[in-house]
A and B are shown apart, each in its own frame.
Chain A
Amino acid sequence: MKTIPPICPEPKVGPKYWRSLDQLADTPEFNEWVEREFPSGASEFNDPVSRRHFVKIMSASFLLGGLGLAGCRRPEEHILPFSKMPEGYVHGVAQYYATARPTRGSAVPLLVKSHDGRPTKIEGNPNHPSSNGGTDAFTQASILNLYDPDRAMRFTKSGSEKSSADAFDALADISKKFQATGGEGLSFLLEQSSSPSRERLQKVISEKFPKVRWFIYEPVDLNVERQASAIAFGQPVAAEYRLENAKRILSLDCDFLGAEENAFRSIRGFAKGRKLETPNDEMNRLYVVEGIFSITGMNADHRLRIRPTQIPALAARLASEILKGSNLTGLSDLAGSFKGDEKWISETAKDLLAHGKNSVVLAGHRQPLAVHLLAHALNDALGSAGNSVVYHSISQANQGSIKELTTALNANEVDTLIVVGGNQTYTAPADLDWSSAVAKAKAIVRLGYYEDESSVGATWHLPAAHFLESWGDARTADGTFVSIQPLIEPLFNGVTELEVLARIGGLNTTRPLDIIRETFQTISPTNFEEGWKKFLHDGYLEKSAAQPVAAKINFGAISQELSRAKSPAAASELDIVFHRDYSVDDGRYNNNGWLQEMPDPITKVVWENVIMVSPATAKSLDLRVLKNRKPDDLKNNDRGVVAGNDIVEVELNGRKVQGAVWVQPGLADNTVALALGYGRTKTGRVGTGAGYNAYLLRTSDSPWFASGAKIRKTGEMRRVVSTQEHGSMEGRPIIREGNLEQFKAKPDFARNMDLEAHTPNAGPIYKHPYNSSPELKSKVHQWGMSIDMNSCVACNACVVACQSENNIPIVGKDQVERGREMHWMRIDRYYAGDVSDPQVANQPMLCQHCESAPCETVCPVNATVHDEEGINVMAYNRCVGTRYCSNNCAWKVRRFNFFDFNKRPNNFADTSKGAFGKLYQGPLAKKEPLEYDMIKMLKNPDVTVRMRGVMEKCSFCIQRIEGAKISQKVKAGASGDVAVPEGTFTTACAQVCPAEAIVFGNLLDENSRVSKLKKQERDYAVLGFLDTKPRLTYLARIRNPNPLMPDHKEYPASFEEYEKSNGESGEPKHEMNGAAHGEKGAI
Chain B
Amino acid sequence: MSEVTTVKVQAPPPELARQPLVLNNHSFAWISDKISGLVEGKTQKWWWPAFIISASVMLMMFSCIAYLISTGVGVWGLNQPVGWAWDITNFVFWIGIGHAGTLISAILFLLRQKWRTSINRAAEAMTLFAVVCAGIFPVIHTGRIWFALYPGFLIPFPNSNSIWPQFRSPLLWDVFAVSTYGTVSLLFWYVGLVPDLATLRDRAITKGRKFFYGLFALGWTGSNRHWSNYEKAYLILAGVSTPLVLSVHSIVSFDFAVSQVPGWHTTIFPPYFVAGAIFSGFGMVLTLLVPLRTLCKLEDVITVRHVELMCKVILATGSIVGYAYAMEFFIAWYGGNPYEKYAFMNRAFGPYWWAYWTMISCNVISPHLFWFKWCRTRMWFVFLVSIVVNIGMWFERFVIIVTSLHRDYLPSSWSYFKPSWVDICTFIGSFGLFCTLFLLFMRFLPMIAIAEVKGVTAQADPHHPAGGAKGEHH
CB distance from B288 to the nearest CB of A (A): 32
The answer to whether B160 has its CB under 8 Å from any CB of chain A is no
Residue of chain A at shortest CB distance from B163? A862
| Stretch among A55-63, A206-214, A816-824 lining the B interface | A816-824
10 residue pairs from A and B, CB less than 8 Å apart = A728-B411, A861-B153, A879-B143, A880-B143, A882-B171, A883-B143, A896-B143, A920-B71, A949-B72, A949-B144
* A68 contacts across to B, CB distance below 8 A: none
Interface SS majority for chain A? loop
A638 adjacent to B351 (CB under 8 Å) = yes
Question: Interface digits, B57-78 against A, CB 8 Å rule (1 contact, 0 not)?
Answer: 0000000000100111111011
Report the separation of the CA atoms of residues A791 and B70 in the bound assembly, to the nearest whole angstrom. 46
The answer to whether B80 has its CB under 8 Å from any CB of chain A is yes
Report the separation of the CA atoms of residues A880 and B150 in the bound assembly, to the nearest whole angstrom. 10
B165 adjacent to A861 (CB under 8 Å) = yes
A950 adjacent to B143 (CB under 8 Å) = yes
A828 adjacent to B260 (CB under 8 Å) = no
B143 CB contact (under 8 Å) in A881, A919, A1023: A881
User: Which residues of B72-107 are within 8 A (CB) of A?
Assistant: 72-75, 77-84
CB distance from A569 to the nearest CB of B (A): 37
| Stretch among B209-217, B316-324, B415-423, B436-444 lining the A interface | B415-423
| Stretch among A116-124, A574-582, A887-895 lining the B interface | A887-895
A915 adjacent to B78 (CB under 8 Å) = no
B79 adjacent to A880 (CB under 8 Å) = no
Residue of chain A at shortest CB distance from B82? A819
| Stretch among A28-36, A93-101, A514-522, A897-905 lining the B interface | A897-905
* B417 contacts across to A, CB distance below 8 A: 640
* Chain A residues packing against B (C-beta within 8 Å): 636, 638-641, 724-732, 734, 755, 759, 765, 815, 818-821, 826, 828-830, 845, 854, 857-862, 878-884, 886-888, 890-892, 894-900, 915, 919-923, 947-951, 1022-1023, 1026, 1061-1062
Report the separation of the CA atoms of residues A393 and B421 in the bound assembly, to the nearest whole angstrom. 66
* B75 contacts across to A, CB distance below 8 A: 915, 920
CB distance from B57 to the nearest CB of A (A): 21
A820 CB contact (under 8 Å) in B74, B255, B412, B416: B74
Contact A887 B83, CB 8 Å, known A640-B418, A857-B166: yes
A1062 adjacent to B338 (CB under 8 Å) = yes
CB distance from B401 to the nearest CB of A (A): 9
* A899 contacts across to B, CB distance below 8 A: 71-72, 74
A858 CB contact (under 8 Å) in B79, B141, B170: B170
Contact A857 B169, CB 8 Å, known A638-B406, A640-B417: yes
* A725 contacts across to B, CB distance below 8 A: 414-415
Pick from A728, A948, A949, A1061 the residue with the most CB of B within 10 Å.
Answer: A949
List of 5 A-B pairs having minimum Cβ-Cβ separation, nearest first = A881-B143, A949-B143, A898-B74, A922-B71, A819-B79
A881 adjacent to B142 (CB under 8 Å) = yes
B73 adjacent to A949 (CB under 8 Å) = yes
B144 adjacent to A880 (CB under 8 Å) = yes
* B79 contacts across to A, CB distance below 8 A: 639, 818-820
B153 adjacent to A891 (CB under 8 Å) = no
Residue of chain A at shortest CB distance from B174? A860
CB distance from A634 to the nearest CB of B (A): 10
A860 adjacent to B166 (CB under 8 Å) = yes
A765 adjacent to B72 (CB under 8 Å) = no
B415 adjacent to A830 (CB under 8 Å) = no
A820 adjacent to B80 (CB under 8 Å) = yes
Pick from A755, A860, A895 the residue with the most CB of B within 10 Å.
Answer: A860
User: Which residues of B169-222 are within 8 A (CB) of A?
Assistant: 169-172, 175
Pick from B80, B148, B337, B412 the residue with the most CB of A within 10 Å.
Answer: B412
Question: Interface digits, B394-429 against A, CB 8 Å rule (1 contact, 0 not)?
Answer: 000000000001111111111111101100000000
Report the separation of the CA atoms of residues A1022 and B412 in the bound assembly, to the nearest whole angstrom. 13
Question: Interface digits, B133-170 against A, CB 8 Å rule (1 contact, 0 not)?
Answer: 00000100111110110000110000000011110111
Contact A861 B144, CB 8 Å, known A884-B83, A899-B74: no
Residue of chain B at shortest CB distance from A877? B147
* A923 contacts across to B, CB distance below 8 A: 70-71
B166 adjacent to A861 (CB under 8 Å) = yes
The answer to whether B56 has its CB under 8 Å from any CB of chain A is no
Residue of chain B at shortest CB distance from A729? B411
CB distance from A283 to the nearest CB of B (A): 27
CB distance from B341 to the nearest CB of A (A): 10
Report the separation of the CA atoms of residues A948 and B142 in the bound assembly, to the nearest whole angstrom. 11
Report the separation of the CA atoms of residues A765 and B267 in the bound assembly, to the nearest whole angstrom. 13
* A641 contacts across to B, CB distance below 8 A: 351, 416
Contact A726 B414, CB 8 Å, known A888-B261, A1061-B338: yes
Residue of chain B at shortest CB distance from A727? B411
A886 adjacent to B83 (CB under 8 Å) = yes
Contact A922 B164, CB 8 Å, known A860-B175, A887-B259: no
CB distance from B267 to the nearest CB of A (A): 12
Residue of chain B at shortest CB distance from A755? B337
* A896 contacts across to B, CB distance below 8 A: 73, 80, 83, 143
B338 adjacent to A732 (CB under 8 Å) = yes
* B170 contacts across to A, CB distance below 8 A: 858
The answer to whether B342 has its CB under 8 Å from any CB of chain A is yes
Residue of chain A at shortest CB distance from B70? A922
CB distance from A887 to the nearest CB of B (A): 5
The answer to whether B108 has its CB under 8 Å from any CB of chain A is no
B153 CB contact (under 8 Å) in A829, A858, A880: A880
Report the separation of the CA atoms of residues A254 and B410 in the bound assembly, to the nearest whole angstrom. 32
Pick from B70, B171, B420 the residue with the most CB of A within 10 Å.
Answer: B171
B78 adjacent to A898 (CB under 8 Å) = yes
B259 CB contact (under 8 Å) in A731, A759, A821, A854: A854
B338 adjacent to A898 (CB under 8 Å) = no
B74 adjacent to A826 (CB under 8 Å) = no
* A729 contacts across to B, CB distance below 8 A: 411
Contact A915 B172, CB 8 Å, known A819-B79, A897-B143: no
User: Which residues of B304-333 are within 8 A (CB) of A?
Assistant: none
* A820 contacts across to B, CB distance below 8 A: 74, 79-80
Contact A636 B351, CB 8 Å, known A860-B165, A860-B172, A890-B410: yes
B410 adjacent to A828 (CB under 8 Å) = yes
A878 CB contact (under 8 Å) in B153, B169, B175: B153
Report the separation of the CA atoms of residues A892 and B80 in the bound assembly, to the nearest whole angstrom. 8
* A886 contacts across to B, CB distance below 8 A: 80-81, 83
Report the separation of the CA atoms of residues A821 and B338 in the bound assembly, to the nearest whole angstrom. 29
Contact A892 B78, CB 8 Å, known A639-B416, A862-B163, A951-B143: no
Contact A826 B351, CB 8 Å, known A896-B73, A921-B71, A949-B142: no
The answer to whether B246 has its CB under 8 Å from any CB of chain A is no
Residue of chain B at shortest CB distance from A885? B83
Contact A881 B144, CB 8 Å, known A638-B414, A890-B408: yes
A845 CB contact (under 8 Å) in B83, B406, B410: B410
Report the separation of the CA atoms of residues A984 and B147 in the bound assembly, to the nearest whole angstrom. 39
Residue of chain A at shortest CB distance from B255? A884
Pick from A829, A920, A947 the residue with the most CB of B within 10 Å.
Answer: A920
CB distance from A278 to the nearest CB of B (A): 30
B409 CB contact (under 8 Å) in A639, A726, A891: A891
Report the separation of the CA atoms of residues A883 and B143 in the bound assembly, to the nearest whole angstrom. 8
Residue of chain A at shortest CB distance from B68? A922
CB distance from B410 to the nearest CB of A (A): 6
B409 adjacent to A1023 (CB under 8 Å) = yes
The answer to whether B258 has its CB under 8 Å from any CB of chain A is yes
A950 adjacent to B73 (CB under 8 Å) = no
Contact A724 B83, CB 8 Å, known A640-B418, A890-B260, A915-B420: no
* B351 contacts across to A, CB distance below 8 A: 636, 638, 641
CB distance from B421 to the nearest CB of A (A): 7
A815 CB contact (under 8 Å) in B74, B147, B175, B405: B74
A730 adjacent to B411 (CB under 8 Å) = yes
Report the separation of the CA atoms of residues A949 and B261 in the bound assembly, to the nearest whole angstrom. 23
B413 adjacent to A892 (CB under 8 Å) = yes
* A829 contacts across to B, CB distance below 8 A: 412
